[in-house]
Chains A and B, each alone.
Chain A
Amino acid sequence: MRDKSGRPVVVVTGMGVVTSLGAGKDDNWKKLTGGESGIKSITRFPTDGLKTRIAGTVDFIDIDAMSAPVLTLRLAELAGQEAVSQSGLGNAVPGPLFLATPPVEIEWDQRRVLAKTAGANGPVSYDDLLRVSAQHPDYHSLFMFGSVADHLADKFGTRGSPISLSTACASGTSAIQLGVEAIRRGEADAALCIGTDGSVNVESLVRFSLLSALSTQNDPPQGAAKPFSKNRDGFVMAEGAGALVLESLENAQARGARILGVLAGCGEMADSFHRTRSSPDGKPIIGCIQRALDDAGVAPEQIDYINPHGTGTPENDKMEALGVAAVFGERAAKIPMSSNKSMVGHTLSAAGAVEAVFTLLTMQNGRLPPTINYNVPDPAIPLDVVPNTARDADVKYTISNSFGFGGQNVSLVMAREPA
């Protein structure tokens, strides 16, 4: 019931996932191991004049009016419901909610509505928008930062103050880390950790585009995400959600819950080098992975599979490969490491949670999803990326990496079953 450090063992008893591939674990796993891509041309808004016109949007869910917080909430509800149902806890999760969610903000649709309400002749100023804001009370709760978490806390009956967090593209992993820490402190028997992101809108896309972070290979969309390939040219924005019910082993066993995997350890190290680039010596990435292994009490030799951040940007993949090589030494080239983002794209705030679910499924099913679009190997990255085709493997211990703008680095060590 306790780990090597005397802390409660934290296990997973529920998982849920939604991506551009579909809703639910079964559909996602089938397509993920089939090497299918969820990336397509954007139809949600006109893309004329944009360099990047593709994304892994989730378009198969009905919502009233598209806005990022509305879709973000809906995705989290779907993934959360699947996870909570599987856990058998009913809709009263005996613990806190940790939600990785994109920062919310007023969008152009609303700004344009406000400008119209203001009816300004000639130039429109923020004075005009502010003057008429009180005429749009429905925008209030939509754009409060805590709104999404508030709805989810009600829906799933989590306890206490729900925490909305952002560590950029590492957010989903940070949510899981916070859940693990709360259970280890003995604050709760369980925690619901969700990463969600439904923010593919024109300005979000433009922002990443202006930072030259996105692939511009729009045709065919399915070929754009090419992690670890020599011709990789950026990530592909995507939407989705991943949810995990974490529980102390003791609580899970006491109620006879099925144990889906173990959250053995978490590691974190911030990078003080640059806002968007990693320290060239790779020390923060190396330190982050090392801390996760140490926290789990797992030796590098025990790791059977790496679920990388693997975005497909020239910078990330190079630095991540360097970090992996430094930690795992000669064995690095032999440890399979495949990027889910080659198929589902980069689900941003959700990515860490989505990929934790996929990593747990990888262990459970004994099958490694591939890195697709791997046609031009990069000699600088001599790793086994499980190129293009899934294969079977016996996977007992894994590590999942997430890195984000602002020097965010978080890694999780997961095990198939309690030691």
Chain B
Amino acid sequence: MTEAAREGCITGIGIVSCLGEGLDAHWQKLTAGETTVEETKFAPYPVHPICPLDFDKQIPKKGDQRQMEAWQRIGTYAAGLALEAAGVKGNTELLSRTDMIVAAGGGERDIAADSAILSALPGAANADTLLNEKLMSDIRPTLFLAQLSNLLAGNISIVHGVTGSSRTFMGEVASGVDALRIALARINAGQADLALVGGSYNGERKDQLMLYAFGDELLTGGYKTVWQRGPKGGMVVGSMGAFLVIESRAHAEKRGARIMARLSAVMSERSSRETEPVVPSLRAMWGRIASRVAPGAAFIAGASGAGRATAAEQAFLAEHSDIPVRATGSYIGHGMEPAFPMNVALAALALSHGKLFAPRDPEIEKPMPSALKQAIVTGVGYWRGEGMALVEAA
């Protein structure tokens, strides 16, 4: 089969975030320049909350919903939207050869049970024994399945019937980049025809916020756009789910699927944050696609807002000041594992409309009146991992 026939095409997108559910809701808010921020519930940390979702629409069995925690419900929901958009949902033959790669964190805690245990331990005659007893009696037996990283994929298999393969990558932003990179490589190499790739993240969790608070990586003092957070910076996390159906051009055309955009390249790098900044790895990835970038391109930046990483990303972008930039983090917050698939989805959305959405930063983000033909998506992990994708108009 020719290289063109094995080209990766995006034929389905399922996204949910604080902007709403689905492509239209996102486009409306992105063109209006609007976002939603929850400033009080997790104060001093602002958070972008997930929009209200009627889970019954994608997860019909209440029993399935009960077996999941929020991050899995968000992800299973988004995966259903993507399969539906691609015309794959319910098609057992296609689902049985759909390659699934999920980027996931996990470990959602039972806040009430943990708090009760921690409150009881100091007064106990033997704290270790009490911990054992409380864990055996207070933990819901199926909670483990709502915590395991690979059980988002497991739930997607159960609820939507995806059975071709099932792999879960872990490790913040880099896992989302590599999930897309490997799915695309498998399609380009003829190892697969069709893939479901993405992830989900629930940022509205105090146990989750602790992880970044350890590193003092969260924004305090009120919401600001990612480019306006000063040298110390700080992330505003955002709950989100993002899944993409990617398939070879030949496969998409044969079944008459609508191609929303082409996924022309996905790359990842790992620079040592101690000895070298992020810039060289972004430059290296840029070097591999630069000859293909033409007028009509824009950067969809995955900047998290974390001080050093975002400053480095901004320095790289400044080297290409002729190319307009939009940081999606100013709209939907930073979503860790699904952040990169989400940004590729938003790039494809903009390409399908043939134009870039509104700036949310008066200094860095310039209007783009001309037609959008290419999007370069960046992903810079706040502490490790860099990624870049080239997404092009269908």
| Interface set of A (CB-CB < 8 Å, partner B) | 45-51, 101, 103-106, 108, 111-112, 114-115, 122-127, 129-130, 133-134, 136-141, 143-146, 149-150, 153-154, 160-168, 174, 178, 181, 184-185, 187, 202-203, 206-211, 268-276, 284, 404-408
Contact = CB atoms under 8 A, between A and B. Distances in A.
Contact of B150 (A126, A149, A160, A408): A408
Question: Which of B136, B143, B213 has the most chain A CB atoms closer than 10 A to its own CB?
Answer: B213
Contacts of A161: 174, 177-178, 181, 268-270, 385, 387
B169 interface: yes
Contacts of A139: 214
A211 B144 contact: yes
A111 B110 CA distance: 13
Given A48-B129, A143-B211, A404-B150, A272 B136 contact: no
Contacts of A137: 214-216
A299 to B, nearest CB: 23
Question: Which of A141, A406, A407 has the most chain B CB atoms closer than 10 A to its own CB?
Answer: A406
A275 B136 contact: no
Given A127-B206, A404-B150, A270 B211 contact: no
A237 to B, nearest CB: 13
Given A124-B118, A130-B210, A161-B178, A146 B384 contact: yes
Interface string B366-393: 0000000000000001011101000000
B209 interface: yes
Contacts of A211: 141-142, 144
Interface residues of B, number: 80
B141 A130 contact: no
Contact of B158 (A50, A150, A407): A407
Interface in B170-187: 170-172, 174-175, 177-178, 181-182, 185-186
Interface string B144-169: 11011111011101100111111111
A301 B218 CA distance: 59
Given A134-B216, A164-B171, A268-B165, 13 more contacts: A45-B128, A49-B136, A105-B147, A112-B121, A124-B119, A133-B214, A140-B217, A146-B172, A154-B272, A164-B170, A206-B139, A269-B165, A405-B148
A139 B153 CA distance: 28
Given A130-B209, A133-B214, A268-B165, A210 B115 contact: no
B166 A46 contact: no
Contact of B270 (A153, A181, A187, A268): A153
Given A130-B210, A210-B139, A270-B164, A146 B174 contact: yes
30 contacts: A50-B136, A106-B207, A112-B121, A114-B210, A126-B207, A134-B216, A137-B214, A137-B216, A139-B214, A140-B383, A144-B172, A146-B170, A146-B381, A160-B268, A161-B387, A165-B167, A167-B150, A167-B167, A168-B148, A184-B189, A206-B132, A207-B139, A210-B136, A210-B144, A270-B153, A274-B158, A275-B142, A275-B151, A276-B145, A406-B153
Contacts of B164: 269-270
Contact of B100 (A181, A270, A273): A270
Contacts of B169: 163-165
A290 to B, nearest CB: 13
Given A185-B189, A405-B148, A129 B170 contact: no
Question: Which of B158, B186, B214, B216 has the most chain A CB atoms closer than 10 A to its own CB?
Answer: B214
Contact of A275 (B154, B182, B210, B217): B154
A112 B127 CA distance: 10
Contacts of A130: 206, 209-210, 213
Interface of B: 67, 100, 104-107, 111, 114-115, 118-119, 121-122, 126-129, 131-133, 135-136, 139, 141-145, 147-151, 153-155, 157-158, 161-172, 174-175, 177-178, 181-182, 185-186, 189, 191, 206-207, 209-217, 268-270, 272, 381, 383-385, 387
Contacts of B158: 272-275, 407
A160 B163 contact: no
A209 B136 contact: yes
Contacts of B210: 106, 114, 126, 129-130, 133
Question: Which of B107, B166, B270 has the most chain A CB atoms closer than 10 A to its own CB?
Answer: B166
Contacts of A114: 210
Contact of B161 (A48, A103, A272): A272
Given A161-B268, A166-B149, A210-B136, A126 B115 contact: yes
B87 to A, nearest CB: 19
Contacts of A163: 169, 171, 175, 178, 182
Given A105-B107, A161-B174, A161-B269, A187 B185 contact: yes
Nearest to B272: A154
Nearest to A275: B145
Contacts of B161: 272
Contacts of A143: 211, 214
A296 to B, nearest CB: 15
Contact of B191 (A123, A125, A185): A185
Contacts of A271: 157, 163
Given A150-B384, A160-B269, A165-B168, A140 B215 contact: yes
Contacts of A101: 170
Contacts of A144: 171-172, 211, 383-384
B122 to A, nearest CB: 8
Contact of B136 (A108, A206, A273, A408): A206
Across the A-B interface, give the 3 residue pairs with the lowest CB-CB distance, nearest first: A406-B154, A146-B171, A133-B213
Nearest to B159: A272
A210 B209 CA distance: 28
Contact of A181 (B170, B186, B216): B186
Contact of B163 (A126, A187, A284): A284
A45 B126 CA distance: 13
B132 A103 contact: no
Contact of A49 (B129, B177, B189): B129
Nearest to A208: B144
Nearest to B383: A144
A272 B157 contact: yes
B133 to A, nearest CB: 5
Contacts of B67: 275
Contacts of B104: 166
Nearest to B143: A207
Nearest to B179: A163
A163 B387 CA distance: 13
A185 B191 CA distance: 8
A198 to B, nearest CB: 16
Contact of A126 (B133, B165, B170, B206): B206
Contacts of A103: 105-107, 147-149, 170
B111 A206 contact: no
